[in-house]
Amino acid sequence: MKAIVIFFALVAVVSCSDECYRDVVATCSNTLSKQQGVLTQCDAKYGAIENLEGDLQRFANSLLYRSFDFLLMATHYGNYIKNRAGFEKLFRGLSDDLWDDGINTIKYMTKRGARMNFNNIASELEQEKPSLELFELQAIGRALDIEKKLAKDAFDLHKAASGHKNDHHDPEVAHHLEEKFMEKHRDAIRTLAGHAKDLSSLLDGPDASLGLYLFDDYLQK
């Protein structure tokens, strides 16, 4: 009786086997395929990662693109003319954070069997003409807008992965976004909003130059 149960269990496993099993069987029974090593279905993809792959590629590219934006802003404020070490530190930190997020997104995609396409760039980034010669308050305002846009992109991706878009339901992608991205960028948005408010008040005071100097000194700490 026990042997019969085991037999039917094995039959069930074979009958319910996925595409990788059939690829292996076909490869082992075909000399040409065996030589070429064709196992097209034996990958790490599962869930809806294939349908979310393009969105993840665009998101990763946006993170890297904006990282360079912040790096250029840091360079602008770190030169001998501007000499704003505090603003340089602020924007370099934002640049490093987005670079890490972009690289981690790419690593996550490869863990799920997806591929990175550096040519898959959001249309608004391709059409945008960067303006980096900014005054300090305007630079913080632009940084805040960038962080909010990236947060919105993450929310849209999370919405799709949470099942609000046909064939895109993938709770593991949604969890990754929540754990690795959203909380950190919530704090970045709150910090930049506070900086914008504080600097605006200082520049509105009796000595704007002194206020700007003190604010830059504060950012260096």
pLDDT tens per residue across all 221 residues of the chain: 555 544 444 444 444 445 555 555 555 556 545 545 555 556 556 766 788 888 999 999 999 999 999 999 999 999 988 899 999 999 999 999 999 999 999 998 898 888 899 999 998 888 887 666 679 999 999 999 999 999 999 999 999 888 777 778 888 888 999 998 999 999 999 999 999 999 999 999 888 999 999 999 999 98
Q: Are 26 and 20 in contact (CB under 8 A)?
A: no
Q: Are 133 and 75 in contact (CB under 8 A)?
A: no
**Angle, CA of 121, 57 and 42, to the nearest 5°:** 145
Q: Are 87 and 19 in contact (CB under 8 A)?
A: no
Q: Are 161 and 171 in contact (CB under 8 A)?
A: yes
Q: Are 97 and 184 in contact (CB under 8 A)?
A: yes
* Amino acid, res. 44: A
The binding site for Fe cation consists of: 147
Q: Domain 49-219 sits in which CATH superfamily?
A: Ferritin, core subunit, four-helix bundle (1.20.1260.10)
Give the list of residues 6+ apart from residue 21 with CB closer than 8 angstroms, or none. Answer: 14
How far apart are alpha carbons 164 and 171 in whole angstroms?
Answer: 11
124-128: long-range pairs with CB below 8 Å, 24+: 125/61, 125/62, 125/65
And the tokens for 172? 């593991």
The binding site consists of: 147
How far apart are alpha carbons 207 and 98 in whole angstroms?
Answer: 35
And the tokens for 127? 């059409």
Packing angle, helices 136-159 and 208-219, rounded to 10: 50
How is residue 179 annotated by DSSP? I
pTM of the predicted model as reported, rounded to 2 decimal places:
0.80
CATH 1.20.1260.10 residue window(s) in the chain = 49-219
Q: Are 102 and 50 in contact (CB under 8 A)?
A: no
And the tokens for 150? 């990236």
Instruction: Give the closest residue to 141 by CA, choosing from 79, 203, 63.
Output: 203
Return the H-helix or E-strand segment holding 77. helix 49-78
Give the side-chain half-sphere CA count within 13 A for 38. Answer: 13
